[in-house]
Each structure stands twice: as C-alpha cells, then as structure tokens.
C-alpha cells in the first residue's frame, strides 16, 4: 500500500478583495500626490507673503492750515436781454435789403422792404372810395337836418363812410407789415434772405440779439433757497474767455422749486458793453455764502476717494529693520513708511481739497504714487516731479 500525501491547493483571492486592494493603493498614491501639492503651495504662499516689498518712489506734500470762505458754484447759460428771429407777418417778394450781416442796428431801423406796388394801388382806390363816402355822409347829414331824408338813410351813409375808411386803414397796415424794421437795439446775425426771394409769413429773415446787458441763467438746489436774493453779487467765468472774470448781480429768483429736480432757477445780469459775451455760451457761476472755516489743505491727488471712505497716506519714520534692510548696489535704503488714514474731505478749490477731520497741519502726505501703496509700505521720497497744487490753476491751452 503506497503512502500518498494530500496536495495543498491555494485558492485565488476573490474579486472583491482585489478591488479593495486596488482602491487602497489608489488612495495612497493620489493622497500622497495631493499632500505634496498642498505642501508646495503652502510653502510658495509663505514665500510671497514674507517676501519684502521693494520701496516705492513717491512725492509728498506738507499739509497746511488755511481759512476758506464757503462758496457755492453752479453752471448756467448766457441769455440775451432780448433775442429773436426777425420775420414777416405778410408774404411778398423782397424788393430791398437795407442791412449787412453782423451789423448793429437801432430800434426802428429799416431791414427789409417787400414789394407793395399792388397793395399801394389798392390803397389809393380805397382812399378815393373813403373820400367819396365821407362827402356823401356829410351831404346826407345836411339833408337829414332839413328833414328831406330819413334818419335811417343818414345813419346808413355814415356807416358806409366808416367802413370804407376802415378798409383803407387795413390796407395801410398791410403795407406797413411789408416794411420790416428792427424791433429793438441789438446786433444782427447772418442774413437769410436774398433780393427777389418770395417770403411766406413767418419765414426767418435775420437773427437779432440785444447784448448789453446780458443775463446768465442757472439753477441751485433747494438747500440754497435762503442763501441767494436779488442784489447778491456773483462771479461769472466762460470757457471762451479764459482768465477773465465778470461780476454780475442777481436780479430774479424763481419763487417755486421744480418738483422734478428740486432745483430753482436764478437769473443774474451783467454789463456787456463790448459784446464779448454771447448768448448761449456755457458759464460758471460762483458766489460767497458769507461763512468761513479753518481747513487743512492737501492736493486732490493725495486723497484716495472710495465709496467706503476717503483716505490719505501719511508719512512716518521707518523702523530699524526697514532702514537696515539689504538693498542692491546703487539703490537707496528707505527711511520712511506710510500709514493709511481715513479722513473727512470738505470743499475743493482748484487743485486743492480741504480736510475737515483726520489730518493735522504739518503732517506730510503722499501726493503721487498712491496706487502702488499699502499700509506700512516702505517709500523713497522723490519730489523732483510734484503734481500741481494751486488754488487757482491756469493750465496751458495746448
């Protein structure tokens, strides 16, 4: 009898076990990759967060105290004292033009004469009929006084004479309408008619503007209602005459406020003997409110205007680690840092803005280079190029 040993058989791993092993291996590999990526990103962020920011070159301005009078400003339009397009009430052919474009005229000066030959002939006929009717009226009045005709016949002749005379006067008025004269003193514009041209009633002939005096119309918000009154002096400037300022006097204030805008119209009048101011010109109006206040003045370029609040960067002494930091050869070690500070802005005047709270006179603020700054940033002062900071700037017209 032969000895036989039982053979051992290995069962292959089940499918579920193989899947489990593969998932574990997948999680280990990709988990390691994710951990390595996270650590590298963290190290990169730490590097950039702790990387020293290079010093920024800026210009500075020392805040100063000034006493400013409160002023109000508005924009308006110059308006002629009288202005119109000269036209005709009656149609006709242009027979004579008695003016030149741009000419100064007086009230009643002849401008245009239309052809009136037909109307004059009709006027002669009507006047002859009127004289005959008047003679007949007088004769029937005598007969009526002698009781030879009835009073009704006398009244009828009297009415006929009056009607005929009225027809003659109407014809004379029609002829006068064909003689166009200047309605007021002023300066004529450009001629719009020619000899021999037929004009319809209402057709424009020439513009006429009375330039002295001239008015400026502007609007103010309802909060200013009690701050202006007739007789108040205002200053007017126009872009067409840079550097010149004109004094005007308020002559009328609209008693009602417009409900759509909550503004009220104001009219000021000023002399214009030379005619340099022209109707329709854009004008700026400024007037004092009679009050003054102490403000700290800085250039408008020094203020960061933001919806959440306006701020300035104030210069401060840099700490030792900033002063002693290593710099490249040829570069200057920064001696100052900036501190961001929120301020309350007030009125503006030219390139300057008044600070009513948050800044003291003598403090130095950054006036250019604000976009590259952050709180505690190191700066190097370079005032070779400084923005304008004038209360009444006069830029060149290039």
Indicate whether 215 pLDDT > 90. Answer: yes
Look up the CATH number of domain 56-67+293-381: 2.40.420.20
According to DSSP H, which parts of 249-340 are helical? 320-323
DSSP tag of 295: E
Look up the CATH number of domain 72-79+210-292: 2.40.30.170
Candidate CATH numbers 2.40.128, 1.20.1740, 3.40.30, 1.10.287; the one for domain 116-177 = 1.10.287
pLDDT at 342: 92
d(CA 358, CA 201): 69
Cα radius of gyration rounded to whole Å, the chain: 46
> What is the residue whose two structure tokens read 């027979």?
95
The predicted-structure confidence for 144-160, as pLDDT tens digits, reads as follows: 676 776 777 766 777 77
DSSP tag of 69: E
pLDDT at 2: 46
218: confidence class by pLDDT, cuts 50, 70, 90: very high
Indicate whether 1 pLDDT > 60. Answer: no
d(CA 124, CA 179): 18
- For the ranges 7-16, 37-46, 138-147, 175-184, the maximum mean pLDDT occurs at 175-184
Q: Which residues of the chain form CATH 2.40.50.100? A: 92-114+179-202
d(CA 174, CA 89): 9
Measured CA distances, 332 to 323, 380, 389 (Å): 10, 8, 28
Helical pair 117-145 and 151-177, crossing angle rounded to 10 deg: 160
Q: Residue 109: phi, psi to the nearest 5?
A: -65, 140
39: confidence class by pLDDT, cuts 50, 70, 90: confident
pLDDT at 132: 73
DSSP tag of 298: E
DSSP string, 120-167: HHHHHHHHHHHHHHHHHHHHHHHHHHTTSS-HHHHHHHHHHHHHHHHH
Q: Which residues of the chain form CATH 2.40.30.170? A: 72-79+210-292
Candidate CATH numbers 3.30.1450.10, 3.10.20.30, 1.10.287.70, 2.40.50.100; the one for domain 92-114+179-202 = 2.40.50.100
Q: Which residues of the chain form CATH 2.40.420.20? A: 56-67+293-381
Mean pLDDT, rounded, for 75-86: 89
Joined together, the tokens standing for residue 306 give 């933001």
Mean pLDDT, rounded, for 15-22: 79
Indicate whether 8 pLDDT > 60. Answer: no
Return the number of other C-beta atoms located less than 10 Å from residue 242's C-beta. 10
Mean pLDDT, rounded, for 310-321: 84
Q: What is the pTM of this model?
A: 0.55
pLDDT at 49: 60
Mean pLDDT, rounded, for 356-374: 87
> What is the residue whose two structure tokens read 């110059």?
78
Q: What percent of the chain has pLDDT over 90?
A: 7
Q: Which residues of the chain form CATH 1.10.287? A: 116-177
């Amino acid at each position: 009898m032969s000895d036989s040993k039982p053979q051992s058989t290995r069962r292959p791993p089940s499918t579920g076990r193989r899947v489990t092993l593969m998932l574990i291996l997948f999680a280990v590999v990709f988990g390691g990759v994710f951990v390595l990526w996270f650590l590298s990103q963290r190290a990169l962020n730490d590097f950039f967060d702790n990387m020293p920011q290079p010093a920024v070159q800026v210009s500075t301005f020392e805040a100063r105290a000034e006493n400013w009078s409160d002023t109000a400003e508005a924009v308006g339009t110059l308006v002629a004292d009288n202005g119109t397009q000269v036209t005709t009430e009656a149609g006709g052919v242009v027979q004579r033009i008695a003016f030149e474009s741009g000419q100064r005229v007086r009230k009643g000066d002849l401008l245009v004469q239309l052809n009136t030959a037909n109307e004059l002939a009709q006027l002669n006929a009507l006047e002859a009929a009127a004289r005959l009717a008047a003679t007949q009226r007088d004769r029937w009045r005598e007969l009526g006084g002698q009781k030879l005709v009835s009073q009704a016949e006398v009244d009828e002749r009297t009415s006929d004479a009056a009607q005929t005379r009225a027809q003659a006067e109407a014809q004379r008025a029609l002829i006068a309408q064909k003689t166009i004269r200047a309605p007021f003193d002023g300066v004529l514009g450009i001629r719009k008619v020619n000899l021999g041209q037929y004009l319809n009633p209402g057709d424009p002939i020439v513009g006429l503007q009375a330039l002295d005096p001239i008015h400026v119309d502007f609007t103010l918000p309802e909060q200013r209602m009690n701050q202006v009154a007739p007789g108040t002096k205002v200053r007017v400037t126009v872009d067409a005459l840079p550097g010149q300022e004109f004094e005007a006097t308020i002559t009328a204030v609209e008693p009602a406020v417009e409900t759509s805008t909550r503004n009220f119209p104001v009219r000021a009048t000023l002399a214009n003997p030379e005619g340099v101011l022209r109707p329709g010109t854009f004008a700026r109006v400024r007037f004092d409110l009679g009050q003054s206040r102490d403000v700290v003045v800085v250039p408008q370029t020094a203020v960061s205007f933001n919806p959440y609040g306006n701020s300035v960067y104030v210069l401060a002494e840099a700490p030792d680690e900033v002063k002693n930091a290593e710099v490249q050869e040829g570069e200057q070690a920064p001696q100052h840092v900036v501190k961001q500070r929120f301020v309350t802005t007030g009125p503006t005047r030219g390139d300057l803005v008044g600070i009513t709270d948050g800044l003291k006179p003598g403090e130095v603020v950054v006036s250019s280079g604000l976009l590259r700054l952050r709180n505690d940033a190191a700066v190097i002062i370079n005032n070779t190029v400084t923005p304008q900071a004038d209360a009444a700037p006069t830029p060149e017209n290039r």
